[in-house]
Structure 1
Amino acid sequence: MDSKLDKTTVSNGLKAIDFFCSGGGMSYGMKDAGIEIIAGIDFDKSCKSTYEANISGAEFINADVFDLEERYLELHLSLEKNDDNLIMIGCSPCQFWSIINTDKTKSAKSKNLLVEFSRFVKYFRPGYIVVENVPGVLRRKEESGLNEFIEWLKNNGYKSPHIKVHNVFDYGVPQSRKRFTLIATRLTEKEIEPAQIVGKKIVVKDVLGAHNGFEKIEPGHKDNTDFLHTVPNISDINKRRLKKVPKNGGNRLGFAKDPDLQLKCFIGKDDSFKDTFGRLWWDKPAPTITTKFFSISNGRFVHPEEDRALSIREGATLQTFPLTYKFIGTSIANIARMIGNAVPPKYAKALGKAIIQHHNAI
């Protein structure tokens, strides 16, 4: 992605508030499309420095949505009800609805975040609404509050909401990542649908590797510049394991027959968890970049050729953050969480461009 934001459509008057903004992936993409970002809201204060460093002109509001009052937001941001130019975006943390094995007790609170977001939608009735989440929120739409929210939208002027699971790979992101997406407007009865990429899609080799500015590094390499081509170290035995994982898409079966290297938990389970210790393919999209993409044992996150996990910048690049995006955090894990939880900016830009196109046609 070009680090220079697209200025061609900034005169459209559209402005957005990004709930659960984290490090700013959705905000950046929307701004790149040509939408003014008024504010990003998140309960995690550690996102503030990253958000403010990259989303110029937007205010970071550190607040828990459960405690945030509609009236406070109205006064603090000088908002008006029924503003046709206002976009409310809700990309709530989604661990509870994820198919990935997460601690559901820790994430239980997150299952009600859509309900809390809908409070603000019902109060302000903005011209546009965007919701993005894991597909699981659609599979369990009664429990997640999605059913009630969609019914309210349809009964209150948002006649034809776009409700679909998209793979961001179809929108210029070199990653297979399925996301539930809702786009709604009360300004017309026309459905707003983002445009997919026509022609060749971007894969790993198009963004990673030495030819794209990523020098060859070893496990444990620390990059103290803003580029953050940093990767954690791994144990000696894991280094030996990775040497036996075939380049360009190999997996842990490369060392399964070596009794010194095979992990006990995988004995007799050659068909299970094949992505663990697995390499990316150059000619395919990356798998879903999670918050643990810097770990070789948490998925297919090994470099296609080098014997190490993905670096922080490589993970961010596969999420389509520009190379100039500045991440400020307390640790590798803290920054990786912001990256893995983010809406890929290129996907966000596609959503923003679809809204702008609709708005300009009215």
Structure 2
Amino acid sequence: MKSTYRPTNSKMFTNGPDEHVLPFGDSSTISRNIKSASQPTVNCEPDDLRSYLLQFYKLIPFFIFLAVISSAGSSYAKCREIIDTEGRTVAIPENIHRAVVLSGTCIETIYILGSLDRVAGISRSIIDSALCNFIPALKKIPVIAQSIRNINIERVLALKPDILVTMGPEHPLGMDRKTIKRLEECGIPVVLLNLESLDENYYSIELMGTIFGNERRAAELINHMKGIIGDIQGKLKKIDDTRRIKALYISGARPNYIAGGYWGKQDIRVLAGAHNVAKEIKLFMTTVSFEQISIWNPDVITISASAKYTAADVINDPHLRHINAVRQKRVYKHPREIAGLFTPRVPLLLAWHTAKFYPELMIDWAGITDKFFKKFYGVLYHGPRD
């Protein structure tokens, strides 16, 4: 095809009759040069060339977009999938650098794994717990939520976390599904760890070890926990069913706020070899009448560390004066430092309960606690020892 492009002054673009002159020259020169190169010719009127250039420039953002998508694709290819305790498959980055953790049970494990420096935000409820007594570094982490159920999503997004770890709606104190959905729609992977049994406790520790890349330390923690629990269960075999005591666990502002049978066989009192007198009430915590407590007539009453009263208050409460536990002064409030059901410290809480239920087994719960604190928190236990 013969070129129809003609410059305004063709002589200023010509260097000789036989030289290739590109992109400008007279029509015969351009045609000869193109044909000699065995290339098809194109119409190149000045306006057409400008149009081609403009269209090319318009495509530049598109090429940039393709480059970004390609880069993002390679990044997403580095994700991995894990399964949380609610059975959800969650895609998370291969390497976690910034995590938001709203559950105290999980922040404790992350500390033991040596990964607290990768936690970018926590909840106020963690700061208000006893954890800060032996993990003071928690106070340096930004607080971005009051609790699991009271979070500021904008503050979470501002931290640009790789992952958010919390308890889910299947747990009585977990995050609601609406909030989880909003977080995931904003691109934040949410891992739900509902620790309602020893097996789920072990699994969550193993999973945290996988997520934060310290499986060896996680296995060490699990084996130590299983060792303590195994020793206690071995000693409990000496207690036959006829000797098993009846136990009640209370908390809250008044001693008639009790723990029901929500946990079933995983209830800490059941694990410690007792009969839970409130097992028929399938609730986590609830209020009952003092008359009902009198009917149950527990042999031992244990009190949550967060309760607003002491063991002496319960013993001196006229509503409870006829109960075996009160008459025999077998009412105990456990230390804050070992509080927390289905945390890494659950063997310590189990040892404490078993020691109170069956003193004849000679379980040295304080000695067990000393060794655990030194090994996994690097500090000595300074709480009550009675």
With structure 1 as the length reference, what TM-score do the two structures score? 0.37
Which protein has the bigger helix share?
2
The structure showing larger relative contact order (alpha-carbon pairs under 8 Å, at least 6 residues apart) is 1
Largest Rg, 1 or 2: 2
